[in-house]
Structure 1
Amino acid sequence: MGLAAEYRRTCSDALEQAGPDAPTLCEGWTTRDLAVHLVLRDRRPDALLTSLLPFLRRYAGRVRKGYAAKPYDELVARVRQGPPVSPFKVPRLDELANVVEFYIHTQDVVRAARTWTPAEQELPTDEEDVLWWRLASMGRLLCLKSPTGIEFVRVGGLGGPQTSTAHPSTKLGTVRVCGRPGELLLFAFGRSGVAQVELDGSATAVTALRRAPLGF
């Protein structure tokens, strides 16, 4: 089983355990809303793309509403099953497109729960290697709106700390964001409130970065 398939299963388990009305870290979304998003992404990407175009939003809304009316158990089962026909069925494309998607959304469910206790998540080294590579390749795009420079620092790796510059220094300076790859990804995707990272920089820069709209 590839890492994307493993994370899909973990995300499906988290959705199933949480139930349809649990909060998530996606602003305004319950677990049902998140499940609908994942099903649309797998099966109706046209509805996600057209939601970005004003003249097609009504169509996209109808598609989304239709899926939202389905039983929650059915939605979760579809997330777990994955797309029946899709480029994502190609293992390499699945890994490229879905590892980060399902890692982040699993944490959106788990860390929004009242029972979640903040703690550094230590993953197997090979998984952290993949997440670090994804962060290094996506970091500049995720951090385009940063008011400060950002240097991500991976800790806990076998070869010692590794760094990746995600945004050039600004007049506020640069902030070093230190943590394990999964935590750094959460920070880069705008989940700074739950990401277990340490920020090293001036107080002004750190405050500005924590308030910045990172991610997509």
Structure 2
Amino acid sequence: MTLAKRERAALIRTMSEVGPDAPTLCGDWTTRDLAAHLLVRERRIDSMPGLVVPQFADHTEKVRRAATDRPWAYLLADIESGPPKWSPLFLVDAVANAGEMFVHHEDVRRAVAGWEPRTLPADDQDHLWRLAQQVGRRSYRGSDVTVVFERSSAEHSDTEHPSGSRVTVRKRGPRTVVLRGEPAELLLHAFGRDQVRLETDGEQRDIDELAASQRGV
């Protein structure tokens, strides 16, 4: 089973446990709001442009809000079944949804006080390490700080990852901040989440500037 499918199943379990009105790390969205987003993203082709093009965002939000009226159990059941065959995401589920499902699962988990990072298999961390580098290269906009990701876990293969465990994801100038931690934590940070377990090396003003930068894709 792919990481995308396993994280989808885990997300559904966690959402079922906390219920439809639980908070998330997605602003003021509840788990019901987040579930509606996931459903619309995979099943409403007309709303997909608004996920990336601001001019269409109002329509996407209107469709998402309408989806929140669906019974909670139906929302979860449709998400659990994955993208239908006619969805553009059906054939690319393993690629397009690994990060989506992982990050949103953590959005639900880490909105609860007392959260702790999960212990993930080495293969999953390898996958998230690749995703973290991809997202990191497009994140941290509006900052003149060079960003270096350093993987803290030794459970990976340098043969599989020729770039090793230390990668410059954005080169901007002599000021540098090193973010050090598990790939899962680096990916979440690149996506704009602050509820992460990372070590940082660099001048405090540079660290603060990076934290305030536009993170995400």
TM range (shorter): 0.7 to 0.9
Q: 1:58 Cα shift?
A: 5.6
Distance in 2 separating the partners of 1:62 and 1:204: 40
Q: 1:84 Cα shift?
A: 1.9
Aligned 8 A contact 2:135 2:191 in 1: no
Give secondary structure in 2 for the equivalent of 1:34: helix
Call closer, same or farther: CA 1:124–1:188 in 2, change over 3 Å: same
Q: In structure 2, what is the equivalent of residue 97 of structure 1?
A: 96
Call closer, same or farther: CA 1:210–1:57 in 2, change over 3 Å: closer
Q: 1:148 Cα shift?
A: 1.3
Q: Which has the higher helix share?
A: 1
Structure 2 gaps of 5+ residues are: 159-163
Superposition pairs of residues 42-53 of structure 1, within 5 angstroms:
42-50=42-50, 52=53
Superposition pairs of residues 113-124 of structure 1, within 5 angstroms:
113-114=112-113, 116-117=114-115, 119-124=116-121
Call closer, same or farther: CA 1:203–1:53 in 2, change over 3 Å: closer
From 124, 129, 133, give the equivalent of 1:132: 129
Deviations 1:137-160 (A, max 9, x none): 232112333341100000112358
Q: 1:61 Cα shift?
A: 4.4
Aligned 8 A contact 2:135 2:190 in 1: no
Q: 1:109 Cα shift?
A: 0.2
Q: In structure 1, what is the equivalent of residue 173 of structure 2?
A: 170
Give secondary structure in 1 for the equivalent of 2:200: strand
Distance in 2 separating the partners of 1:27 and 1:147: 26
Paired residues in the alignment total 209
Distance in 2 separating the partners of 1:53 and 1:200: 35
Q: 1:40 Cα shift?
A: 0.5
Distance in 1 separating the partners of 2:10 and 2:64: 24
Code of the aligned partner of 1:124: P
From 179, 182, 197, give the equivalent of 1:180: 182
Aligned 8 A contact 2:36 2:65 in 1: no
Could you tell me the percent identity over the aligned residues?
A: 35
Q: 1:170 Cα shift?
A: 3.2
TM-score by length of 1: 0.88
After TM superposition, the structure 1 stretch with the greater mean CA deviation from structure 2, 61-70 or 13-22, is 61-70
Give secondary structure in 2 for the equivalent of 1:89: coil
Give secondary structure in 2 for the equivalent of 1:84: coil
After TM superposition, the structure 1 stretch with the greater mean CA deviation from structure 2, 176-185 or 43-52, is 43-52
Q: In structure 2, what is the equivalent of residue 9 of structure 1?
A: 9
Code of the aligned partner of 1:108: D
Q: In structure 2, what is the equivalent of residue 40 of structure 1?
A: 40
Q: In structure 2, what is the equivalent of residue 76 of structure 1?
A: 76
Structure 1 gaps of 5+ residues are: none
Call closer, same or farther: CA 1:3–1:60 in 2, change over 3 Å: closer
Distance in 1 separating the partners of 2:202 and 2:66: 48
Q: 1:62 Cα shift?
A: 4.0
Distance in 1 separating the partners of 2:117 and 2:61: 38
From 184, 190, 193, give the equivalent of 1:191: 193
